[in-house]
Amino acid sequence: MPFNLMGIVTNFMGDNDSAVRRAAIEAVGTQSPWSPDILEAVIYRLENDEDWHVRSTAIKALGTQSPWSHDILEAVICRLDNDEDSDVRYTAIETLYIQSPWSLDVLEAVIRRLENDEDWRVKSIAIKALGTQSPWSPDVLDAMIRQLENTENSHVKGTAIRALRTQSLQSPDILEAVRRWLENNEDSGVRHAVIDALGIQSPWSPVILEAVIRRLENDEDWRVRRTAIKDLGTQSPWSHDILDAVIRRLENDEAADVRHAAIDALGIQSPWSPDVLEAVTCRLENDEAADMRHAAIDALGTQSPWSLDVLEAMTRRLEDDEDPDVRCTAIKALGTQSPWSPEVLKAVIRLLENDEDWRVRRTAIQVLDIQSPWSPDILEAMIRRLENDEDWHVRGTAIKALGTQSPWSPDILEAVIRRLENDEESDVRYAAIETLSTQSPWSPDIFEAVTRRLDNDEYWHVRAIAIDALSTHSPWSPDILEAVIRRLENDEDSDNLGSKKYP
């Protein structure tokens, strides 16, 4: 902008209309550097204009100038300290945010806003601005903790917690303050926030470690105890004191979430001591919370090979647990152990045959599928599930499992063909054809059954997989050729049949 035009625009800063004054400031804010006259005019508007929009715009315009003079800094701090409009105070902090490094005057002014401003938005932007300054002095940390202690606004508290997590808490003064807050602060939210912030600090000093362990053992708030366990999990290697404290929480804590956190933390420690193994196995056997028994199984699944005690406890869960998800998890965990004892095999087959929950029966099939070779007992149980199970998920999974066995006996072939011809669920018929397609060579019975599905099945995806399976066998008989041509000529879903869009 030409110099004379800048002067004309600057003159509009004295206009009677506040919108004109603001527009003039916005215009000069796009230009840099400013002449002393323009700088003086903008600062005057900042200090004296009766319209808060104009004062706020003046601060934003001053933020475009670099470096800041002492006059600019003083004027912005004065607005931050004294402006009656919270939007102006907010803009002042937002603009100071981008100035670096901060002087002591700026730091003190922002802390004053954090502690004394009545507008939660101003407090939040003050916290964010302070979060850019590192490392924090004890004064800043004290001010932040006071916000955690005293504010009822969730936005301010959440912003303070996030800011706290960005800081290194390793200086001696700050470590002593952290120890004091953990030991003496009556606000469990503060204790929780401090421990949460410590979780990203590593390694901990002995003083902090002792303070966190005391919170784990004695804090009345389960959230604090849970967070203490999670953050202890970040420390490596674990001392005997940490291990003992976490095991005690696993064994005795009344909150299932804390016991769960203890198992999760122990699960990443390796190798397990006999004490850990015993404590986790005890939770598997006796914990009243299904999620805990589930977590215990997951944790034990990371340990191999299993002792006889663990194997027996897992088998008991398999047979006796009232929660189907726990029974499923136990089956999967047993599937990682090899070889299976006769007792384990019998227990899994019993679940396959008798469990009232279809998910458990299906999981039993999936785990038996990876046992090789199959015994006659497994084969017979699988065929019975295929023929008699009331749930189609189980029947479909049984067909797929049978497809992994080779060669097929006449009993398997007959059972699969019966499912193909008679099962009311289309996904089971689909699975039957898909599994039959892996068998070679095909008998006349298979050709006839698949051709009948092509001719008569009401679901297009079954007819489509029938064509796909037939296409792998060559040469075609006249009957098969006629059936395929009829489908292509007359099927209302002929586009899908030809494009393999089926599942």
**Inter-residue contact 259 to 283 (CB < 8 Å):** yes
Q: What are phi and psi of 73, to 5 degrees?
A: -60, -45
Mean pLDDT of all residues in 439-447 = 90
pLDDT at 498 over 60: no
> What is the reported pLDDT for 254?
96
> What is the reported pLDDT for 493?
65
pLDDT at 102 over 50: yes
Quick one: pLDDT band at residue 132, thresholds 50, 70, 90?
A: confident
Distance of alpha carbon 188 from alpha carbon 325, whole angstroms = 34
Tokens 């892996």, residue located: 438
Handedness of CA 467, 473, 477, 481 (dihedral sign): positive
Give me the residue spans of the domains in the chain.
1-99, 406-503
Quick one: pLDDT band at residue 345, thresholds 50, 70, 90?
A: very high
pTM beyond 0.75, yes or no: no
> What is the reported pLDDT for 495?
58
User: pLDDT above 90 covers what percent of the chain?
Assistant: 57
Please choose, from the candidates 90, 138, 136, the residue with its C-alpha nearest in 3D space to the C-alpha of residue 114.
90
Quick one: pLDDT band at residue 67, thresholds 50, 70, 90?
A: confident
pLDDT at 193 over 90: no
pLDDT at 366 over 50: yes
Q: Which two tokens stand for residue 84?
A: 């009656």
Average the pLDDT over each of 137-146, 462-471, 485-494 and give the range with the smallest value: 485-494
**Inter-residue contact 425 to 397 (CB < 8 Å):** no
> What is the reported pLDDT for 232?
92
Tokens 């295929």, residue located: 386
pLDDT at 285 over 70: yes
Question: What class is the 1-99 domain?
Answer: mainly alpha
pLDDT at 182 over 60: yes
**Inter-residue contact 72 to 43 (CB < 8 Å):** yes
Distance of alpha carbon 393 from alpha carbon 75, whole angstroms = 74
Handedness of CA 339, 342, 344, 345 (dihedral sign): positive
pLDDT at 77 over 90: yes
DSSP state letter for 472: T
Mean pLDDT of all residues in 134-159 = 84
Distance of alpha carbon 195 from alpha carbon 222, whole angstroms = 13
**Inter-residue contact 468 to 436 (CB < 8 Å):** no
pLDDT in tens, 241-263: 999 999 999 999 999 999 999 99
> What is the reported pLDDT for 158?
81
User: pLDDT above 70 covers what percent of the chain?
Assistant: 95
Q: Cβ neighbours of residue 3 under 8 Å, at least 6 residues apart? A: 35
Over the chain, what is the mean pLDDT?
A: 88
Q: Cβ neighbours of residue 422 under 8 Å, at least 6 residues apart? A: none
477 alpha carbon, distance to own chain's centre: 56
Q: What are phi and psi of 23, to 5 degrees?
A: -60, -40
Distance of alpha carbon 42 from alpha carbon 21, whole angstroms = 10
Q: Which two tokens stand for residue 182?
A: 């953990």
Can the peptide bond before residue 441 be classed as cis, meaning omega within 30 degrees of 0? yes
Quick one: pLDDT band at residue 502, thresholds 50, 70, 90?
A: very low
Packing angle between helix 138-150 and helix 188-198, nearest 10 degrees? 140
Mean pLDDT of all residues in 91-112 = 91
pLDDT at 337 over 50: yes
Q: Which two tokens stand for residue 317?
A: 């869960």
Q: Which two tokens stand for residue 372?
A: 């090789």
Q: Which two tokens stand for residue 267?
A: 């699960």
